[in-house]
């Protein structure tokens, strides 16, 4: 891939930070969006190591005002050049939920961050996306209604299922501009969310996901794929 402009949300830790690292290694310009740039030590260190190629901007994906602010600041740091890759990675998972005591606030937080966030941020940034750009919504197999599952993490599962619908609708809305939108399950990954027992390192997952994104065809837009490129049922 030539040198591209990329934006990653939830970029201060976990998979988001690894996406930023690997995109920089590949020579791209990266905008890393996170809630508290001043506290994002790893990102600020990377910015120092890659002068002019990494910009760290504030974003709370659950707040539409923050989307508008990011859209404004993005224009400044990219000199008006369009975005080639948007990775909607930020996500929240509330563990330990039991039927009978699921809290409205947890369900609402999941819907805001995991579903509304990627949809509304993409809508806000759409004018700044290059024709033919790629959007990766980091989903989860837990959001698949078709895969048989036990009753677990309902707020997260409902949020990711709603995000999957957002992916499908965004693919329709942006098809005429050749913009590909996919939902990606990153595997079970060793992050704060995935825990130490997870089977993949962030480096393994992100390496596979970036390779997959690099070989997407327009016909793949609107699909739900795992980190190995296998289709998942909705």
Residue ranges that bind ligand NDP, judged by CB under 6 A: 9-10, 12-16, 34-35, 59-62, 89-92, 113, 138, 140, 185-186, 188-189, 191-194, 198
Neighbours of 70 (CB within 10 A): 23
Q: For residue 107, how far is the Cα from the chain centroid?
A: 19
From the CB of 3, what's the least distance to ligand NDP, in Å? 25
Q: How far apart are CA 29 and CA 14, in angstroms?
A: 20
Measured from the CB atom, the residue of 89 and 221 that comes closer to ligand NDP is 89
Q: How far apart are CA 161 and CA 83, in angstroms?
A: 26
Q: How far apart are CA 30 and CA 203, in angstroms?
A: 17
The pairing of strands 83-88 and 54-58 is: unpaired
From the CB of 66, what's the least distance to ligand NDP, in Å? 8
Say whether 215 sits in a helix, a strand or coil. coil
Nearest to 115 by CA among 152, 166, 71, 154: 166
Measured from the CB atom, the residue of 30 and 59 that comes closer to ligand NDP is 59
Q: How far apart are CA 193 and CA 14, in angstroms?
A: 8
Nearest to 162 by CA among 82, 98, 91, 67: 91
Measured from the CB atom, the residue of 126 and 200 that comes closer to ligand NDP is 200
Measured from the CB atom, the residue of 22 and 81 that comes closer to ligand NDP is 22
Measured from the CB atom, the residue of 133 and 206 that comes closer to ligand NDP is 206
From the CB of 93, what's the least distance to ligand NDP, in Å? 6
Measured from the CB atom, the residue of 60 and 97 that comes closer to ligand NDP is 60
At 43, give phi and psi (nearest 5°).
-65, -40
Q: How far apart are CA 17 and CA 89, in angstroms?
A: 10
From the CB of 213, what's the least distance to ligand NDP, in Å? 14
From the CB of 209, what's the least distance to ligand NDP, in Å? 10
From the CB of 136, what's the least distance to ligand NDP, in Å? 10
């Amino acid at each position: 891939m030539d040198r591209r402009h990329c934006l990653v949300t939830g970029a201060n830790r976990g998979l988001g930070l690894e996406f930023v690292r690997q995109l920089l290694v590949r020579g791209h310009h990266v905008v890393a969006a996170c809630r508290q740039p001043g506290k994002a030590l790893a990102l600020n260190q990377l910015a120092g190591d890659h002068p002019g190629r990494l910009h760290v901007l504030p974003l709370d994906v659950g707040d539409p005002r923050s989307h508008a602010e990011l859209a404004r600041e993005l224009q400044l740091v990219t000199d008006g050049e369009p975005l080639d890759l948007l990775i909607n990675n930020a996500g929240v998972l509330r563990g330990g939920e039991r039927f009978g005591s699921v809290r409205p606030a947890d369900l609402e937080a999941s819907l805001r961050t995991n579903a509304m966030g990627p949809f509304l941020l993409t809508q806000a940034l759409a004018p700044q996306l290059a024709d033919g750009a790629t959007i990766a919504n980091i989903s989860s197999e837990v959001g698949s209604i078709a895969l048989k599952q036990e009753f677990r993490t309902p707020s997260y599962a409902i949020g990711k299922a709603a995000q999957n619908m957002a992916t499908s609708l965004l693919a329709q809305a942006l098809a005429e501009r050749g913009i590909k939108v996919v939902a990606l399950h990153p595997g079970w990954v060793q992050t704060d969310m995935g825990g130490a027992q997870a089977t993949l390192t962030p480096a393994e997952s992100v390496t596979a996901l970036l390779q997959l994104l690099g070989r997407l065809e327009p016909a793949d837009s609107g699909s739900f794929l795992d980190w190995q490129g296998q289709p998942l049922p909705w």
